[in-house]
Amino acid sequence: MFRPKSTFEQWRIFQAVVDCGGYAQAAEALNKSQSSLNHAVAKLQQSLGVPLLEVRGRKAVLTAAGEIFLKRARQLSQQVEELENLANNLERQWEPQINLYVSALQPRERLYRALAHFYPRSRGCRVNLHERIHCHFNALQPGDLMLSEHLPGDRTGLVLDEVCLRPLCATNHPLAQQEGPISLDDLTSHNQISLHPPIHRSVDWNDADDTGWKATHYHEVISMILQGLGYAWLPRHLVEAELASGALVQLDLESGNERHLYTYLLTLSPESLGPATELLLRCLRNEYQGEQNLSAQGK
């Protein structure tokens, strides 16, 4: 078993001497004698066999090796602080982690802003973000949060985003060259690339037969579409750049050129959430409801 030659207290004193600019200043800040600080740093350097500080006049200056060790020492201090905070948070029933399930359809911009508001107050709580093609309510465990397009009939959820899906293909694809609206018969003669399993089971969104190509992530679908391998119904927010550049074009279909879904914020038992999850839930609600209120005021 590994036995450290140094102690955390020695590393703490080493940092204090550097941060305070000398042994006398660090001794005052730590409320210790200057001789005890000299002894601690000398013993640390002796145990490592590497000089960390050299005294120039009345000031302690880092050596080249000291610069490297200081960065690692700061990381060590941060980790120790996080461990002690974690113990304190667990004692207060503050969750060590939160599972957040997010639909592949969900736009991310406002979600990431909510997470940015949560992070400074998270007290070391880890967020595990799981992207899923299907986010079903019955898969939730107590304490989990979910952003899903599936809203159970007996449940209510905060409406987050309206997602618009459009039929798209590459500029050089034969469907892009066709004049006039495209019929279902014309569409079925071309390869449809879609997610597997399909996003919405309750509606038949497979215009072609079920022999089309499948992928488990939208990035794969988009990459194949750009190669001219077929067409796909894609969320507009994921392909804004490709549409703007002309790499992808929207198809003109007789059966309609847009399909809409809504995503919702769901949790199993709101009344039994821990304090960290409640905080994240508030951050999400503030982000989405705040924008909705601003939109309503502007109308």
Say if residue 202's pLDDT is above 60. no
Distance of alpha carbon 295 from alpha carbon 68, whole angstroms: 51
Verify that 87 and 55 share a domain, yes or no.
yes
Most confident of 22-26, 108-112, 183-187, 292-296: 108-112
CATH number for the domain that contains residue 63:
1.10.10.10
- Give me the percent of the chain exceeding a pLDDT of 90: 43
Give the pLDDT band of residue 1 (cuts 50, 70, 90): confident
pTM for the complete prediction?
0.65
Tell whether the model's pLDDT for residue 222 goes beyond 80: yes
Average pLDDT, the chain: 85
User: Last residue of a domain, which of 56, 91, 126?
Assistant: 91
Residue 187 and residue 145 share a domain? no
DSSP state for residue 82 in the 8-state scheme: H
1 domain residue, yes or no: no
Summarised one tens digit per residue, pLDDT across range 68-104 is 999 988 888 888 877 776 666 556 678 889 999 999 9
* 171 closest CA partner among 239, 248, 250, 252: 248
The confidence score (pLDDT) of residue 296 equals 40
Are both 219 and 271 inside the same structural domain?
Answer: no
Give how many domains the chain has, as a whole number. Answer: 3
Residue 198 predicted with pLDDT over 70: no
Q: What is the dihedral sign for C-alpha 39, 40, 41, 47?
A: positive
249 by DSSP, 3-state: which?
Answer: strand
pLDDT bin (cut points 50, 70, 90) of residue 106 is very high
**Does 168 share its domain with 255?**
yes
Q: Is the peptide bond before 197 cis (omega within 30 degrees of 0)?
A: yes
Same domain, 14 and 128: no
CB 46 within 8 A of CB 85: no
**Is the predicted pLDDT of residue 18 greater than 70, yes or no?**
yes
Domain shared by 202 and 243, yes or no: yes
Under 8 Å between Cβ of 126 and 98: yes
**Residue 250's domain is classified under what CATH number?**
3.40.190.10
Asked if 230 and 139 sit in the same domain, the reply is: no
| pLDDT class of 54 with cuts at 50, 70, 90 | confident
Residues 61 and 197 in one domain: no
Same domain, 102 and 232: no
Look at residue 85 in the predicted model and tell me its pLDDT. 66
Per-residue model confidence (pLDDT) at position 165:
93
Range of the domain at 201: 161-261
Q: What is the CATH number of the domain that holds 113?
A: 3.40.190
Does the residue 221 lie in any domain?
A: yes
Of 42, 59, 91, the residue at which a domain comes to its end is 91
CA distance 13 to 30: 8
226 pLDDT higher than 60 = yes
**Which one, of 277, 298, 296, 292, lies nearest residue 161 by Cα?**
292
Given 33, 67, 91, the domain boundary residue is 91
Residue 97 region, left (φ>0) first, then alpha (ψ -120 to 50), else beta? beta
36/15 Cα distance (integer angstroms): 15
Q: Partners of 249 in the beta sheet?
A: 169
* Residue 241 lies inside a defined structural domain of this protein: yes
What pLDDT does residue 153 have? 77
Q: What is the mean pLDDT of residues 170-190?
A: 91
How much is the pLDDT for 128?
96
Cβ-based neighbours of 138, under 8 Å, separated by 6 or more: 152
Let me know whether 154 and 176 are in one domain. no
256 and 266: one domain?
no
